[in-house]
Structure 1
Amino acid sequence: MDVRDAAQRWADAWATGWPAQDGERIVELQAEQGDHWASMFRACRGRAGLRAYVEECFGEETRPAEVWFGVPRVDGDTATVEYWAITYPYDQPVTLSGCTVVRFDADGLVTESRDYSHAKEGRIPPPTGLFADHHP
């Protein structure tokens, strides 16, 4: 398993799954017992926990999110991926900026992810050039 490929697959799953509210596209890359820490204050245990988390978040979003993901930075079995998103919980824009630290197993599945993010009310596009090397 190539960690760079696994990390890019993970970033692509979030970049396409989030706006489409396709939680399964995201959850299928999680190891069955892998943990996701949402902003470090909420532990989502295993695939079931991650599924419940994304379904809850998507349930609040009344318009498709706009998302950008950077190129993963890889070290050993771990990657860090920066992102920017504009979400619309209950039709009100909220901008998120952050990064996720993701650890992969030998099959390229996520065994642990830790999300660090900041939120600000309003629709704020990412700074020019910040994600020029990757897709929205």
Structure 2
Amino acid sequence: MDTRVAAERFVRVWERAWAAHDVDALIELYAEDCVHRSMPFREPHRGRDELAAYLRWSFAEEQVTDVRFSAPLVGPGGIAVAEFRVLSEEGGSPAALAGCVFVRFDEEGRAVETRDYWHTTEGHQEPAGRLFLL
């Protein structure tokens, strides 16, 4: 599958499924033996089962009000990157999360390796400047 097509599908599904906490839809984007790194100093989540458990844990306290992803930037070797911004309520308090995801796709268009970098802040704030290419 063309990397651009895979990347566009990836951000479209993530945008919708994150808002709905639809772990099943998200897991379908990943290869069975995927590796997901959610933070630079945290052990990676290996395989769909570990990733699904991490997502369920991440979504447990979060009530999403808005999710936005930028259009993906596509590079050589099946790699793409996209920025994201999420507004939510956690423990009754508004919060904003902004970051980016790096994805490497296999020939079937499934994510085999992903890496996130993100930051959170109190309140429903937009990142300084707009999301790249949004």
Q: Normalising by the residue count of structure 1, what TM-score does the alignment of the two structures yield?
A: 0.89
Asked if structure 1 preserves the Cα contact closer than 8 Å seen for 2:80 and 2:102, the reply is yes
User: Cα–Cα, structure 1 residues 80 and 132, in superposed 2: closer, same or farther, change >3 Å?
Assistant: closer
The 5 A counterparts of 1:30-41 are 30-41=30-41
Aligned counterpart, 2:5? 5
Q: Normalising by the residue count of structure 2, what TM-score does the alignment of the two structures yield?
A: 0.90
What is the aligned residue count? 132
The 5 A counterparts of 1:34-73 are 34-42=34-42, 43-61=44-62, 63-73=63-73
Asked if structure 2 preserves the Cα contact closer than 8 Å seen for 1:39 and 1:115, the reply is yes
**Identity of paired residues, percent?**
37
- Structure 2: distance between partners of 1:115 and 1:65: 21
Asked if structure 2 preserves the Cα contact closer than 8 Å seen for 1:69 and 1:81, the reply is yes
Asked if structure 1 preserves the Cα contact closer than 8 Å seen for 2:74 and 2:80, the reply is yes
Aligned counterpart, 2:89? 88
**Structure 1: unaligned runs, 5 residues or longer:** none
* Residue 91 of structure 1, CA deviation: 2.3
Deviation string for 1:65-117 (max 9, x for gaps)? Answer: 41110010001210001111112222222211111100000100000000011
Q: Secondary structure at the match of 1:103?
A: strand
Root-mean-square deviation (CA), in Å? 1.7
Q: AA paired with 2:112?
A: T
Asked if structure 1 preserves the Cα contact closer than 8 Å seen for 2:83 and 2:131, the reply is no
